[in-house]
Amino acid sequence: MLFSEIDDRVHKLAQYLFCEKSDTKACFTVISTHHAASFYHGPHKHWDPKSTGNHTMTICNQAGQEFQTKIVACNPEVDFVIVSSDVPFVTVAPRLCLPNKSERYILLGYPKPNTGYEALEGIITSVLLDDEGRLRGSRGSQRGYNGGPMFNYKGELLGINVADKSSQQCIGLSNRSTLEKPFSEINDAFPSLSVMVPSCILASSSF
């Protein structure tokens, strides 16, 4: 795929990247015409999952259009929140898709709050769910990408980035003598792994 084609693809996908109207500019990902998702920790951790309907917030699209939303779901364990809007965020919702191992993805976010969005490329390193029902990818540990969408190169939404973990902590095998060298190489290549909440889990919590 040519760089120009990738740039065009990223530009089209950016319609699904929203941000919170605040100094932190936290990422929100559109998962349906009327729903968007983000991470739960940090500035969102004060939201009570038992009284979600009492919380509201304003999020913005790339053009700066503001949407008044209410929080409809919070999951502290898996680390995501979902908001809804009476006014549709987009006319066409993103297509949701299950990730495949070694699949390439594009992650969007705001690593520099005072500038526009940026994109990273990564690969799905595992399709085995952890105890919280999340997956791992190779890129996404930089500040400003939490809550951002992770798309495959078909433009399908795989999930959202919510955190990062040490690759040694995730792989957990680098101290075994027979596997020390290959797993040390993996840890060197990907010292931090992206933690992804799959789009199917987000969808089941909002629809």
Assess whether 49 and 136 both reside in one domain.
no
pLDDT band at residue 31, thresholds of 50, 70 and 90? very high
Q: How many domains does the chain have?
A: 2
Assess whether 67 and 114 both reside in one domain.
no
Assess whether 158 and 74 both reside in one domain.
no
Assess whether 88 and 109 both reside in one domain.
no
Assess whether 52 and 113 both reside in one domain.
no
Q: Are the C-beta atoms of 187 and 174 separated by less than 8 Å?
A: yes
Letter for the amino acid at 29?
T
Assess whether 110 and 76 both reside in one domain.
no
Q: Are the C-beta atoms of 113 and 146 separated by less than 8 Å?
A: no
Assess whether 75 and 118 both reside in one domain.
no
Residue 40 lies in a domain: yes
Assess whether 67 and 138 both reside in one domain.
no
- From 41, 65, 92, the end of a domain falls on 92
Q: Render pLDDT for 146-169 as a digit per residue (tens, 0 to 9).
A: 999 999 999 999 999 998 664 434
Assess whether 118 and 152 both reside in one domain.
yes
- Quote the domain boundaries for residue 183: 104-199
Helix, strand or coil, per DSSP, at residue 54 = helix
Mean pLDDT for the stretch of residues 10-30:
92
Mean pLDDT for the stretch of residues 159-184:
50
Q: With 0-12 CB in 10 A as exposed, 13-18 as middle and 19+ as buried, what is 107? A: buried
Question: Given a cut of 70, is residue 37 above it in pLDDT?
Answer: yes
Residue 3 lies in a domain: no
Residue 204 lies in a domain: no
Structure token pair of residue 169: 């902590």
pTM attached to this predicted model? 0.83
- From 92, 123, 147, the end of a domain falls on 92
Residue 193 lies in a domain: yes
CATH number at residue 125: 2.40.10.10
DSSP code string of 162-183 = EEEEEHHHHH--TTSGGGHHHH
Question: Given a cut of 80, is residue 25 above it in pLDDT?
Answer: yes
Residue 70 lies in a domain: yes
